[in-house]
Amino acid sequence: MSNPIGVALLGCGTVGSEVLRLLTEQSTELAARVGAAVRLVGVAVRRPWRHPEVPAELLTTDAAELVGRDGVDVVIEVIGGIEPARPLLLAALRAGRGVVTANKALLAECGPELYAAADAAGADLYFEAAVAGAIPLLRPLRESLAGDRITRVTGIVNGTTNFILSAMDSSGAGYAETLEEAGRLGYAEADPTADVEGYDAASKAAILASLAFHTRVTSADVHREGIAEVSAADILAARKLGRTVKLLAICERVLDSAGTEWVSARVYPAMIPRSHPLATVGGAYNAVFVEADAAGALMFYGQGAGGAPTASAVLGDLVAVARNRVAGGYGPRESAYADLPVRPMGDTPTSYHISLEVLDRPGVLARVAQVFADHEVSIMAVRQTGRTPEHALSGNAGSGNAESGGVGSDNAGSGGAGATLVIVTHSAPDAALRSTVDKLAGLDVVRDVVSVMRVEGEVT
Amino acid sequence: MSNPIGVALLGCGTVGSEVLRLLTEQSTELAARVGAAVRLVGVAVRRPWRHPEVPAELLTTDAAELVGRDGVDVVIEVIGGIEPARPLLLAALRAGRGVVTANKALLAECGPELYAAADAAGADLYFEAAVAGAIPLLRPLRESLAGDRITRVTGIVNGTTNFILSAMDSSGAGYAETLEEAGRLGYAEADPTADVEGYDAASKAAILASLAFHTRVTSADVHREGIAEVSAADILAARKLGRTVKLLAICERVLDSAGTEWVSARVYPAMIPRSHPLATVGGAYNAVFVEADAAGALMFYGQGAGGAPTASAVLGDLVAVARNRVAGGYGPRESAYADLPVRPMGDTPTSYHISLEVLDRPGVLARVAQVFADHEVSIMAVRQTGRTPEHALSGNAGSGNAESGGVGSDNAGSGGAGATLVIVTHSAPDAALRSTVDKLAGLDVVRDVVSVMRVEGEVT
C-alpha cells in the first residue's frame, strides 16, 4: 500500500453529502481499488452549522485554505456555478492537485482555461459527473472510442425537460400545467429557467462536442432553444407522424459543399420517430446516442441527476485520479488537436415539420410550395388533413395525395372549413427553413402556423 | 512527440483486417491522441497468400518471433481460441509488451494466469472488445463505477441467439426453422453450437462477473443453458404474460441466510417484461443492464459483433495502452480483492414460470399446489386458461380466480378438454424449483408440462 490519498471536498449539498457517505461506507473497497487509503482531509461549506453529519474537525468555511492545505492530493468540487469554483479549481490544479468536478457550467464556459492549468501542472482533471449524472459517458467518449471517428452525438441530457415532455406526450396536456405538475412532484426547481430554456443542456452539449470532436466548444458556441414554446398541438402533430418530442443536445460533424469539416452543437426540441432508441427514454432518465464510423450506433442510458447517481460518477473519477497518483501516471489530457470551426446555426442543415391551417380553395398548395421553392427547400412529404368530406380534392377524392389535385371548393376562405397541410422537408440550411416559415406565416392563404418543429433521428 | 509505438497484429480475419484499415486510415488522429506515432511492425497470419491487402514486408507466419521482435510495444491479438493465443500473449506480457485482445474464451478460461503475467511484468492487459463488441462496457465497469457497488449485471451479449429469439417472437415460428433462417441470413455460423448452447455468453458472463465483483470467475463457474430447447409454446406463453424471451447472462451478488455474500454467474433463456429496457433490444444488437447502489440502473446498447465494431473497441484499447506507455503509467490492474465464493446454481434464488396441461377434474389445483408446498416454493400467481365453457369452474363461473373453486367436470380426464394452469413462482432456490417441476411432470393429473422457463427483470 502507498501513502494515503488526501481528499478535499468543496461543497456538501445534495451531491456532496452522498460523496461523503460513499467515501465513508466504501472506504475499504476504495482502498483496495486505489491501492492506497483514501482519507478525507476537509469539507468546505458556507454554513457549517447546517452540516451536523460532517465531523466538526473536518469542516471549514475557508475553501481556498483547504485547497492549499498540505496533504491534499485530490480536490472534489460539487459547489456548482462559475464563482468561486473557478479560482478554487485553478488554484488546485496549479498546485498540482488532481481535480474531480461535477460542474458542467464551469467546464462549458471555462474549460480551456482549466485544461491549460491542468496541462501546465501535469495534474488530472476529471468530470464524468458533469454530463448525464451516473451514466458513464465521457470516459467511453474520450477513451473507449479514441480509435474511432465519432460522427454524431444525440442526447437527452436534461431530466426536468424530459419529464415534462414525456408527461405532455402521455397526457396531451399543455406546457404550463405540466411544468407546474413537475414542480409539485420535485422534478422542476422553483426557478426552472436553466432547465426549460435549455441552458443546462447547452453546457452539456459543449462538453460532449469538445470531447467527441477534439475541438474547443464552449457554451457560447451552442445554439440553444428551450421547451417553453412546445405546445400540445406540437405534441399531437408529432404523434400523428409516429413521432415524439424530445429536447435534444446534438453534436455533429458537418461537411460543407467545399468539403470543409465543421462542428455543429445545438439544443432544441425536435420530433424523433417512436422507433428510435431515444424515444423510449421516459421520465427524468437521460440517454445519449452516439454514432461512430466503426462502432456504429451506441446508446448509454441511466439516471442523469440526483445525489447518489452523481456521487457514483464523482467517486469513479476519484478512484481514477487517485490510482493515477499511486501509479505515477496521469489520465488523458484535453485533446483539441482537430480544432474544427463551429458551424453557425443558420448554415447548419436541419429538417422541419410544419403544420399549417390554410384556406380551402384552389391554388393554395401551389402558393405554399412556391415559398419552399423560392428558398431552395425541398419538400419530403405533404399531407392534407382535417377537410370536411364535401371539400375533398375534386377528381381525386380518396387518393390521399395532396400534390395530385387543386382544391375542391371556393367558399372555404370565407370562414368555412379550412384544411391542414402537414409538411416535412428534406434537409436544408436552418436559415432557409426559418425564412420559409416566416414567409408562409405572412401568406394570405395561410390562416395559422399551427406547429413548427425540427425533425431528427432518421435519414431524410 | 515521443518515440513511435510499435504494434504487432496477430491474426488478420474479419476483425484483424478492420483493425488494419483503421490503423492506416486514422494514423494521423491516432498519433494526436496517443502523443506518438503508432507504427505497425508486423502482421502474423497462417496463410500469407490470402492477405494481398497487407504490405508483404509486414506479413509473417511466425507469430512467436513477431511478439518477441525488437520495437514491439503493444501486441493486438485477434486470432481467437485458446491455442496458440495463450502462449503468445503470455510471452508478450512477460516481455513487458502491452496486450490488447478480443479473445473472450481465453480470458474466461485463463484470465487469472494472464493477469498474473501482466502484473508481474507491469504490463497492460486490455480487452474491451471481448464482451459486447463495440459497446464501451468493461471500462465503465472497472473505472467509471469503481467508487460504487455493483449489485447485478444482466446482459444480452450474444447477437446470434438474440436474432433467433427476436425472430421467433415476431413470427411465432419454432426454433429449428428460425435457426435455419438465421444461418441463411448470415446471423448464425455453420456450426452454431458456441452461440446457441450459450458457451459464448458464458465466457462473457465470466468476464463481466470478474470485473463487477472483484472476484475471479472463470467460464467453468458459470451455469449455462442454451436456447435449443426454447419452443414456440414458450414464446407464446411469454407473450401471454406480457413478456418476451431473451438469452440472458446474469451476474449478481447473492446473500445467503447466514449473511454471507456470494457471486452468481449464469446464462439461460428467461422471460422478461416487455417494459424492461432489455426487451426492446432486437435483432443482433447487444445490451447490458447494470444495477449499482448509488448509480441506480444503467444500460449500454450497441453492436456486439462484426469486424468494424469490434475493431473500434480494439483501437480504443490500443490508444489507452499506447498512451500509458507514453505517459509512463499503466492502466487498472486485475482487481480480485473481494474474492467472493461462487454460488452453485442449485442454491441460487430464481423464479419460474410453469405452464401445465392438466386434467379437468376436482382437486387438480390442490394436488399441484401441494407439490409446490412440499418443496417450500411459494406461488406468486396462478391462472387457469383454455377450458371449454362447459368446464368452467362450478359456482364460480367467470370469477377468473383459479384458487376459488374446485373443478367443474369429472369427465375431462377421459380424453375430454383439459385445462391449462399457468403458474409464476416467487423466488426460491433453483434446485427446489427443478425438483418441483420434475415432481409435477410425474403427477397423474398433469397431462403435459407445456413450458418451463425462468422469469427475470422484476421484483417477485
Q: ipTM of the predicted structure?
A: 0.84
Residue B339 in contact with partner chain A when CB distance is under 8 A: no
Same domain, B195 and B119: no
Q: Which residues of A touch B303 (CB under 8 A)?
A: 295-298
Write down the mean pLDDT value for chain A.
Answer: 90
Please report, for the domain that includes residue B143, its CATH number: 3.30.360.10
Q: Which residues of B touch A139 (CB under 8 A)?
A: 136, 139-140, 143-144
B288 with B150: CB under 8 angstroms? no
| Coil/strand/helix, residue A188 | coil
Q: What are φ and ψ of residue A444, in 5° steps?
A: -70, -25
For the sheet containing B98-101, what is the strand order? B59-60, B38-44, B5-10, B74-77, B98-101, B125-126
Closest to B127 measured CA to CA, from A331, A294, A144, A324: A144
Write down the mean pLDDT value for chain B.
Answer: 90
Residue B326 in contact with partner chain A when CB distance is under 8 A: no
Q: Which residues of A touch B22 (CB under 8 A)?
A: 147-148, 294
In degrees, to the nearest 5, what angle opens at C-alpha B384 toward C-alphas B378 and B385? Answer: 145
Task: Answer yes or no: do A300 and B296 touch at CB < 8 A.
Answer: no
Hey, how many other C-beta atoms are within 10 angstroms of the C-beta on A202? 28
Q: Which residues of B touch A18 (CB under 8 A)?
A: 294
Which of B5, B148, B253, B324 to substitute to test the interface with A, most A CBs within 10 Å? Answer: B148
Cα–Cα distance between A230 and B266 in angstroms, integer? 47
Residues 110-149 of A with CB under 8 A from B: 128, 134-136, 139-140, 143-149
| Residue A233 in this model has a pLDDT that exceeds 70 | yes
Q: Which of B295, B300, B316 is nearest residue A143 as measured by Cβ atoms?
A: B316
Same domain, B354 and B390: yes
Q: Answer whether residue B336 is part of any domain.
A: no
Same domain, A259 and A145: yes
Task: Answer yes or no: do A146 and B315 touch at CB < 8 A.
Answer: yes
Q: Which residues of B touch A145 (CB under 8 A)?
A: 136, 312, 316
Q: Answer whether residue B183 is part of any domain.
A: yes
Same domain, B289 and B245: yes
List helix spans (H) across B264-335. 307-327
Same domain, A220 and A364: no
| Coil/strand/helix, residue A330 | coil
Q: Answer whether residue B116 is part of any domain.
A: yes
Q: Which of A33, A135, A306 is nearest residue B298 as measured by Cβ atoms?
A: A135
Q: Answer whether residue A238 is part of any domain.
A: yes
In DSSP terms, which residues pair with A342 in a beta bridge?
A263
Q: What are φ and ψ of residue A336, in 5° steps?
A: -125, 25
Closest to B407 measured CA to CA, from B448, B371, B361: B361
Same domain, A257 and A353: no
Same domain, B93 and B172: no
Using pLDDT thresholds of 50, 70 and 90, give the confidence band for residue A18.
Answer: very high
Q: Answer whether residue A340 is part of any domain.
A: no
Q: Which amino acid is it at A365?
A: L
Same domain, A82 and A158: no
Domain boundary among B292, B327, B362: B327
Distance of residue B338 Cα from the nearest chain A Cα, in angstroms? 8
Q: Answer whether residue A221 is part of any domain.
A: yes
Task: Answer yes or no: do A292 and B312 touch at CB < 8 A.
Answer: yes
Residue A294 in contact with partner chain B when CB distance is under 8 A: yes
Same domain, A322 and A428: no
Same domain, B227 and B255: yes
Distance of residue B118 Cα from the nearest chain A Cα, in angstroms? 15
List all residues 6 or more positions away from A131 whose beta carbon is below 8 Å from its beta carbon.
A104, A137, A138, A157, A204, A207, A208
Q: Which residue of B has its CA nearest to A150?
A: B312
A398, with CB counted inside 10 A (0-12, 13-18, 19+), is exposed
Using pLDDT thresholds of 50, 70 and 90, give the confidence band for residue B2.
Answer: confident
Closest to A243 measured CA to CA, from A348, A353, A350: A353
Q: 3-state DSSP helix/strand/coil percent for chain A, to nearest 5?
A: 40, 25, 35
Range of the domain at B414: 346-455
Q: Kindly report each contact of residues A190-194 with a partner whose C-beta sits within 8 Å and lies 24 or more positions away, as own/partner.
A: A192/A160
pTM: 0.88
| Residue B119 in this model has a pLDDT that exceeds 70 | yes
Q: What is the pLDDT of residue A249?
A: 98
Beta strands in A213-364 (DSSP E): 223-224, 243-255, 261-273, 285-292, 296-303, 349-358
In DSSP terms, which residues pair with A266 in a beta bridge?
A223, A250
Same domain, A286 and A414: no
Over the stretch A133-185, which tens digit does the pLDDT of each residue have? Answer: 889 899 888 888 888 999 999 999 999 999 999 999 999 999 999 999 999 99
Same domain, B122 and B147: no
| Residue A218 in this model has a pLDDT that exceeds 90 | yes
Question: How many angstroms separate the first and last alpha carbons of chain B?
Answer: 58
| Residue A388 in this model has a pLDDT that exceeds 50 | no
Q: Which residues of A touch B316 (CB under 8 A)?
A: 143-148
All three cell numbers of A374, joined, read 423560392
Q: Which residues of A touch B280 (CB under 8 A)?
A: 277, 280
Q: How many CB pairs under 8 A join A and B?
A: 193
> Which has the higher per-residue pLDDT, B392 or A58?
A58
Please report, for the domain that includes residue A410, its CATH number: 3.30.70.260
Q: Answer whether residue B60 is part of any domain.
A: yes
| Residue B363 in this model has a pLDDT that exceeds 50 | yes
Hey, how many other C-beta atoms are within 10 angstroms of the C-beta on A359? 23
In DSSP terms, which residues pair with B289 in a beta bridge?
B154, B299
Over the stretch B260-289, which tens digit does the pLDDT of each residue have? Answer: 999 999 999 999 999 898 998 988 899 999
B204 is catalytic: yes
Q: Kindly report each contact of residues A88-95 with a partner whose C-beta sits within 8 Å and lies 24 or more positions away, as own/partner.
A: A88/A10, A88/A63, A88/A64, A89/A114, A89/A117, A90/A114, A90/A117, A91/A64, A91/A67, A92/A8, A92/A67, A92/A123, A93/A117, A93/A118, A93/A121, A93/A123, A93/A125, A94/A120, A94/A121, A95/A67, A95/A68, A95/A121
Q: What is the pLDDT of residue A134?
A: 86
Please report, for residues A151, A152, A347, A408, B103, the alpha-carbon distance to residue A253 in angstroms, rounded to integers and kept in the order given. 6, 7, 13, 46, 33
Q: What is the mean pLDDT of residues B334-359?
A: 94
Q: Which of B18, B32, B292 is nearest residue A294 as measured by Cβ atoms?
A: B18
Rounded to a whole number of angstroms, the CA Rg of chain A reads: 26
Closest to B288 measured CA to CA, from B348, B228, B248: B248
Cα–Cα distance between A306 and A308 in angstroms, integer? 6
| Residue A419 in this model has a pLDDT that exceeds 70 | yes
Tally of domains in chain B? 3
Spot the catalytic one: B204, B240, B246, B439: B204
Please report, for the domain that includes residue B26, its CATH number: 3.40.50.720
All three cell numbers of B192, joined, read 452454431
Q: Answer whether residue B460 is part of any domain.
A: no
Question: β-pairing, A349-358 with A428-429?
Answer: antiparallel
Residue A27 in contact with partner chain B when CB distance is under 8 A: no
